[in-house]
Amino acid sequence: SAHQWQAPSPTDSRGPCPGLNTLANHGFLPRNGSNITIPVVLKAINDGFNFQPINLLRIGAKLGLLTTDAEDSFTLNNLALHGTLEHDASLSRNDYALGDNVHFNETVFTTLANSNPGVDYYNITSAAQVMEQRLAEDKIVNPTLINTIKEFTVRIVESGFYLSVMGNVTTGVAPKNFVQIFFREERLPLEEGWERSEVPIGEDNFDTLLSEISNVTTWAPSGEVICPWIRLQP
Ligand code: HEM
Ligand code: MG
């Protein structure tokens, strides 16, 4: 059917966002990963995840346009431009300075995969701990690590994304196997029992989730770059 999972072909564009890659693998976004406009991406996120076109997503999509010289669309691979949206201490990709900031990396993902031991779900507390641990790991290996309030804010949002889209936006609880399939295979775990959120993910419930994650982390900026920065073009 139209939204069956299909692995990308070698010429299809994919990038550092497991959420958008997944939407492309299921045909909610163009399967070739190209010509993505703001309305196209907002509709795909709503159709695939029941995530409403809230301001936060609109801003994210607009920042996506800054990663290319094209005037009104981007490709999934454009999003890898380091310093616009792409940042260090990702959950499933290596730091830009360490090599490959685009493709899924099982070694990097180990921290999240092994979090919340003893139970079969991730939650707000485990997500916050994973964020702290990824940062601690990168402080050891990446002397160019960038960790300002901007990267922290984006990372909180991304933790909120996997908890809400693969789990429950109200409780912040997400089954481990759903989250792992999402990251590793960039596939909606439909056969495994995942269902698109019944509750629309929107401004109120998502903001609450983000505050809850941020309330249980102790974060501080570090590194040479102290002023939040953003690359305005490639
Ligand atoms: C990461 C772009 C929406 C899930 C990223 C990254 C980019 C990006 C550039 C890489 C950041 C990094 O880790 O260095 C976008 C844009 C979006 C969007 C432009 C739409 C406006 C979504 C949605 C989801 C999602 C709706 C829902 C599941 C994630 C997750 C990460 C991520 C979980 C973290 C990956 C990691 O840390 O390894 N996104 N994204 N994104 N995105 Fe998206
Ligand atoms: Mg990254």
- Per-residue pLDDT in tens (0 to 9) along the chain, 234 residues: 899 999 999 999 999 999 999 999 999 999 999 999 999 999 999 999 999 999 999 999 999 999 999 999 999 999 999 999 999 999 999 999 999 999 999 999 999 999 999 999 999 999 999 999 999 999 999 999 999 999 999 999 999 999 999 999 999 999 999 999 999 999 999 999 999 999 999 999 999 999 999 999 999 999 998 888 888 889
Q: What is the DSSP string of 162-223?
A: HHHHTT-TTT--EEHHHHHHHHHH----TTTT----SSPB-HHHHHHHHHHHHHT-----BS
What length is written for the chain? 234
Q: Is the CB of 33 under 6 A from ligand 1?
A: no
Burial classification of residue 39, based on how many CB atoms lie within 10 Å of its CB (0-12 exposed, 13-18 middle, 19 or more buried)? exposed
Measure 77 CA to ligand 2 centroid, in angstroms: 13
Residue with tokens 């997400």: 174
| Protein residue whose Cα sits closest to atom 1 of ligand 1 | 17
Complete domains list, the chain, with CATH: 18-215 (1.10.489.10)
Contact 174, 162 (CB under 8 A): yes
Amino acid at 178: F
Mutate to test the pocket of ligand 1, among 13, 17, 40, 161 (most ligand atoms within 8 A of CB): 17
**ipTM strictly over 0.95?**
yes
**How many other C-beta atoms are found inside a 10 Å radius of the C-beta of residue 95?**
23
Q: Which ligand is nearest to the CA of 18?
A: 1
| Protein residue whose Cα sits closest to atom 28 of ligand 1 | 19
